[in-house]
Structures are given as structure tokens and as C-alpha cells.
Structure 1
Amino acid sequence: MNKLDNNNNLTNNQKQFQKHQYQQQLLKKLKDQGEVKEIPHVKQNIEASNPEVALYVLKESLLRDQNRELLQTSKQYSFGFDSILGAYGSDQSCLKVRNTNLDYDTIVNDNQLLEKHLIEFKQKLSNSLNISIDQIEILGVSKGSFEINFQITGKNSDEQKQKILDNKNQFLKEYCNGQIEYVDYYQQASQYAKGVTLSSDDFNPSHNMSWDGFHEKEQRGPPYHRYDYYFPIGCYGFGLKVKSDGNDDWIKMDGNPNEWRIMYHGTKNQAVSAIVKTGLNCLPNSRQAYDENYCIDEFGNKVNVGKGIYFSDRISVCLGYCSYTQIGNKQFAVIFMSRVDPKKIRQSDRMKPINYFVVNKSEDVRPYRILLHEKK
């Protein structure tokens, strides 16, 4: 760390980025040496049906998405880790491009090849944004196919970053067949410690269940909206506490006129805690692929699908939107099982073959169970 601080050839952003990289390496070494312990009681029964595993997966997923880990270590073996976290825990950000066409090991072992790719990347980005090549600061490269971590500096840098995100498909077509993402690699520890607030009080154990041994599907729903309910086979479900207005017809399975349809929603890790607390919400400015498609509404009118919350009736589709969390030698993903007002479901002809559905308003969605899916 002292060598980094005294390296006058690196910018402050590059120093901070490399410190972050060392932090991740340190965590791995500590775990490999047995000097870092995960929550000990979870290891006693690492099964999807263990409620402690559910809580651990949810918390660990949230923390890992912020580049933090739910680990315990002593200062004796931290080798300065605590001081690094304390000194460099302020908000910082960078942009990352992942090029899936390139091999990391091949490039980083050839300095000329590495320099060639970085110059090519900066030139294309400079042309795409119509900015000086000097405004593009390479922070470093990392593994994951081949990832370039960079920062836009100078005047209007925030606008340029947003421009990259808004036009990422065009830029990536010009540069690579990869993906671009906004990476917050240092978050304020105190801020996110408050955000990790899941507890056993959020769950209703009486609605816990598994679907092992179930057949694939069965008919459900009221007479005007019969549908195939595909059981979440391979998952273990944890019941959530749901708000009640005194009428629970929506959650029954008797075909009454007010019964809501069962749907699944796969989500990225950082959204889990918020969904448990406040429910599923549609982001008003989000871009969605099918919002201008036509469908038929509950009144028989031809309308646009519109923006909303995406669902599927198949677990396999939702898993494409989830991240797995490693616990011991097992991996788990989180999916929300919700009841949805059948009158408010939108689906265009293009969405039917891929089992996509959209609900425009969060008030028509009620998450009532969290599913843990174990990767086999």
C-alpha cells in the first residue's frame, strides 16, 4: 500500500482502484488460510430448507453486490485490511467494459498486445463520445473474459458517463460483444450496514415449503382466468409476512373470483432487501424491450404492453436474471414468488414464446414467498 501511495506514475483514481483489487485478493488469501470465518452455524446444515441459509444468502448476496463480504476476521490476521477499509471507504466509482471475445491471460502476458487493445479501446470510446482521448483514464484490467476498468475525467464527466450507459448497445457493437456496467467498488460501510436489514421478522414460517416430488404443473385460477401453474421444482420456499386488509381471497387456491395468479420474478442481488421490505416496484425511466408491443387488456381493448415489472411462469426463465451466491460447496439463487392480479397482466404475441409477462403497477403485485434455488 505504501508503494502504491508513493508511485508518482499512477493517478489517485488508479491507486484507489488497485487498492480495491488488493483488498479482494487479501480476502481470498485470508479465507484460503482459514483466518477468515463465515457465519459458523450456517455450515452445520447447508441445505436450501435451512432458514439460516436463506438469511445468509440474502445478506451475503446484497453485500457481495457492493463488493463487501459478510466475513469475520481478527485484526491480528487482517494485515491492515481494517485500516484500508477505514481509510478508503468513501464513495468511488468506475465504469467497466467486459469483452467476451478476448482472453485475459493471453493479453496481460503480452505488454504490446495489452497496450494495443487499451489504445484501441480509448480511441473508439473517444470517437463515440466526441471527447479528448486524454479524458479517458484506464484504471486497470481484470479477469472476466477481458475487463477494462476506466474513468471519464474533466468537464461534464458525469454527463459523459451517463451517455455511455444510455448508448451502451451502440458503443458495444462498435467495440465488442461484451457488456458495460457501472461499478460502485467502494461504498460507505455505515450506509450499507444499515441497508442490510433482513431478519427473521420478515418471514412467515407457516408458509415454508418445498415441491420435491411434485409433477410439472396443474390448472389453477378463477373460471375467467384458468392457467397452467408450473411448480417451482428444485426450490425451497420461505413464506414472507404479507400485509392483510382482512380479505385473503387473493392468496387462496380454490378458484374463487378474487384469486390472483402465481408468477415468478428473478432479481439481481442488490434488489433483494428492498423487495422484501417494500415489494416489487417498476422504475419509471427504465428501458424495456416490449413496452411498445400491442396486447389485449382486461376489457378486450388493444393497448401497449407498457413499462412495468417483468415476470415469468417458469423458474428456468427467472434464473437467467439471478446471481448465485456460494456457501460452502453449494450455490443458491433468489427468486420471488408473487401473486399478481390476473386482470392486470400484459403479454404481447412476441412475449408468449419466451414466457414473459409484464404488470404495469406495483399495487397489482404481492410477493409472498422467497425461493432459494440450488445450482446442481
Structure 2
Amino acid sequence: MTPYGNIAFFVIIGLLLLPTILLGLRGKSSKRYNLFISVIVLALIFGHSLNGTISLVLFTVFQVVLIVAYQRYRLQQNSGTIFIIAVLLSILPLILVKVLPILGLPHVFGFLGVSYITFKAVQMILETRDGLMKEKISVVELVYFLLFFPTVSSGPIDRWRRFTKDFHTVPSSEDYQKLLLSGINYIFVGFLYKFILAYLIYNYTLIYLPNHTYNYLTPFQGQLAYMYMYSFYLFFDFAGYSAFAVGVSRIMGIQTPINFNRPFASRNIKDFWNRWHMSLSFWFRDYVYMRFVLWMTKKKWLKNKFAISYIGFFLLFFLMGIWHGLEWHFVVYGLYHALLIISFDKFERWNKKHKRWPKNKWTHAIGVIITFHAVCFGFYIFSGTLF
């Protein structure tokens, strides 16, 4: 069963969450019950395929053993080589999932949500290395975090320390009422986005574009219309899934971070990446870009801090591109956004010196329009239609 894919899934989730809601409204802990229903929902999601179930179990055991083993090692020693090996081992299954199909070879870890679980596992190894996770990790809590069913398929990507704080907090009846209302609101937003707006855009415009254009559109106009419609469809479809995940999480007492914050209202490309797929972009920013920049600065291989930053942007967006897939349009999509970020940074530094672009409501509006079109062209590249 696909998470949030049909009404049947929501009916099952609604019935399973009734005891959680009743306990929450009474100010009681529902931790154990939520662990129980998580097993049921995961079985519904992955149980249709024996290979998928085996892959999930093997992958989870592998990541848990790796995380726990590295944490125990880190309490005693801090070898950089061991740290790198641990990170590489953690991302190895994801690399195999991406690479082996291109080579025509089968892989064992090909199941729904492998990317998002990997991000969580790598994050824990990185934060263990930083000395931020010194307390002993409960294996049950670790598995619950990695396989938290509301977010297992498409995120958002939560952080261990934030997640475990919510897990051990029993909200009062009044606080839970706020979480419940917020969760229900997000679920309704998800229905609006996913099952109404995304559905209408796809079925009444997108399937006719760009190859089968309306009679009154030229081929160029058809491509242009496709670019805009695909951008809106991609947002409403993905934001809808994310809203469902956030809503169900809050009903379970976990305040999973939101993934989208009006991205098409962004005033520049940096602002866009602070609003679009936020948990993923923040993950790459914190664990790839910042670490690369700090490492390069420490090694002093380059003296120009802007050159280091720009190389970091290319690395960041290249990895974000190939995370979607190894096809050329994903690679170009990532490098395109790296160029946008670098170009804007250069413009921002130039304007700081020459002050030719004042900050007011008119320049803000122009910035939103320019950013919107630049982003839509990026999604056009992402769609693969251009290649």
C-alpha cells in the first residue's frame, strides 16, 4: 500500500490513531501504542513484496548496527579514517540503488524510502562524530526514528535530537489539542494540494503538454505552458505528501518540521532554497556544504573564501541533483541551481558595494517574478523534457 496514495490508507490510519487521540486528549502517553501501530502500518506499506520486506529488514539492521557500533567506538576514540569508513558504509546501499540499475544489475536495497532513511542514519553518524550524541541510544527508539512511518516514504527529514525530545515529551491535554488541530489542518491542506489541485493540473493540462498541445498553442507556447504547469504540479503533489506526513506526525505527538513555506513567493534563489523541500536542503547545507567549507578552510588549500564557497555550492547541488537520479537532466538541474546561487551571491556582493538595487516593495516584487521564472525553468530541466 502506497502511503497517502488513496482514501483506504487514510481510513486505516484514522482508525489506528483513534486510541492515540483519546490518550493524547487525556494527557496520557501513547508512545507504546504508537510503536505498536507503526509495525502494523509498515507491514501494510512494505508487506506486499517479500523482497521489499527483506530489503527493509536487512537495511535497517545494517544501519542500526553501524550507528550503535560507531557510537560505542566514538566514546573511546576519534579516528578520522574510521569516521569516513562509517559514513561510506552508511551511504553504500543508497549508492548501489542508484548505480546498479544503470549497469543492468539487481540490487537488494531497492525499497520505498531508502533515501530518507539513509539521510537519517548518516546524520546520526555525523553528529556522533561531532560529540552531540553522547547518551546511550535505545535500539527501539533508533528503529522508530529511522522507520517513523508518517515520513518513511518521502520525508520530511527529521533530526534525531529534535525527534527524541518529542518522543519523550508527554504533552498536556491542552497542548495535545493544539497538536491535534494542527495535524488535522495539515491533512486537509494535503488533500487540497494532492487530490484536488495536483490532480486537476495533471489531468486537465499536463497530460496534453508539451507533445500534444492545444490547437491554439504553438510548439514553443506548448513547451512554455508545460514548464509552468509542471512546476505547479510538482509543488502541489510533493507539498501535499509532506503536509500529510506532518499532519499524521503531529497527531502522534511528533512535530515533524515542515517542508515547504510558500516557495513561489521567494524574493531570490537563496530565499527559495530556504522555502523549498526545506528538510532536504537544510540537510545538505548542514552536512555537506558547511562541512566542506570548514574542511577546505582548515586545510588552507585555497585562500579565497568565495572560491571555497562556490566550489561548495557546486558540490552541494551536484549531489542534490544525482540524488534524484543519475540521468543527465538531474545532473544539469543541480548544476543549474549552483550557477543561480553563485550568480546571485556575486550580484549581492556587487550591489552591497555599488548600491544600485534598493530594497523596496517594487524591487521585492521584481525579485519574486525573476526568481519564479528561474525556478520554473529549473523544474523544466528537472522534468527531462528539455533533453
On whether the aligned pair clears a TM of 0.5, the verdict is no
Which structure features the higher share of strand residues?
1
TM-score by length of 2: 0.28
TM-score by length of 1: 0.28
Which structure features the higher share of helix residues?
2
